[in-house]
Amino acid sequence: MTLDEAIQLYTQRAENHEYILHSGEFIGEEGEHMKQDIKCCVSENRQLAEWLTELKEAKRLLKAVAKIVKNLPCDDDNCGECVHNDNGYVCSEYECFEWRYTNEALALIGEEGDTE
């Protein structure tokens, strides 16, 4: 299941429960308990959809940052022979960047780390 599919699923579930909530007649104490359960389902499904939407946006931003950082021009006039080291510092034709967790961040969002 993709993030978009999960967001759609939880949004639809919330809408379905809201429909039931507004169209149903809840009689007596048992009906009131059912009404509260449905309200809880609406709230939980909306919260899940919101969190997944935030995750989707965070992944999008992380990809953008990785691309920007990777393409920053080198600001060291004496550079040109830098190599990848444990800190993530790379120079390729005078384009350097230093972002220690590039590979980990890209792996987290499902992209292969490519620092060369």
pLDDT tens column, 36-89? 999 999 999 999 999 999 999 888 887 777 666 555 545 555 555 555 445 555
Q: Is the torsion defined by CA of 81, 86, 87, 92 positive or negative?
A: positive
47 vs 108, higher pLDDT: 47
The CA-CA-CA angle for residues 115, 100, 64, to 5°, reads 60
Q: Taking the domains of the chain in order of start, what are their residue ranges?
A: 1-70, 73-116
CA distance 22 to 26: 10
Q: Which residue has the higher pLDDT, 41 or 27?
A: 41
C-alpha to C-alpha distance for 68 and 53, rounded to whole angstroms: 23
